[in-house]
Amino acid sequence: MTNCFYKKKLKKYPCYHKNKIYLSFLEHILKRTNILISILNVLRVVINMRVYIVVILQFIIWSGYTFIEWLSKHDQLIYKVIMFFVFFYLAYLIGNHVTKSARKTLFITTLSLVIYTSIHYTMEMFMH
């Protein structure tokens, strides 16, 4: 081997010149970068799965609210509103525990409530 710039720094990674294989420090960094990108993609999927888990749990909470509201048909409106806020807070707490982001949790909770309400009233229109 002739003089190689990386020879002193990295003895593991030889430098070959001209027609031979050239494996340098930069190529090694690029390989490590690809591994890091793969890890970040896996983490992104895990984070998205957290959002799906929160939405599913909140759908279960909204279903429970609908069931309890159905059981308390003859209650006054103020008690139903208080019960709604209790369930909303419960959904928010569970979502915040899973996502660990207050802003994201508030958005997901509101979105799941809107989606559940639209599905609920659409199904109610078809049933009656």
Does any domain span residue 40?
no
Closest by CA position to 89, among listed 124, 113, 123, 121: 113
Does any domain span residue 100?
yes
Domain of 112, in residue numbers: 49-127
Number of domains within the chain: 1
pLDDT of 19 reads 40
Does any domain span residue 36?
no
Distances (CA, A) of 78 to 27, 55, 57, 68, 100: 67, 27, 26, 15, 32
Give 60-74 pLDDT, tens digit per residue. Answer: 999 999 999 999 888
Does any domain span residue 9?
no
pLDDT of 127 reads 85
Does any domain span residue 121?
yes
Give 31-85 pLDDT, tens digit per residue. Answer: 666 776 776 677 676 677 888 899 999 999 999 999 999 998 888 999 999 999 9
pTM across the whole model: 0.64
pLDDT of 21 reads 46
Does any domain span residue 95?
yes
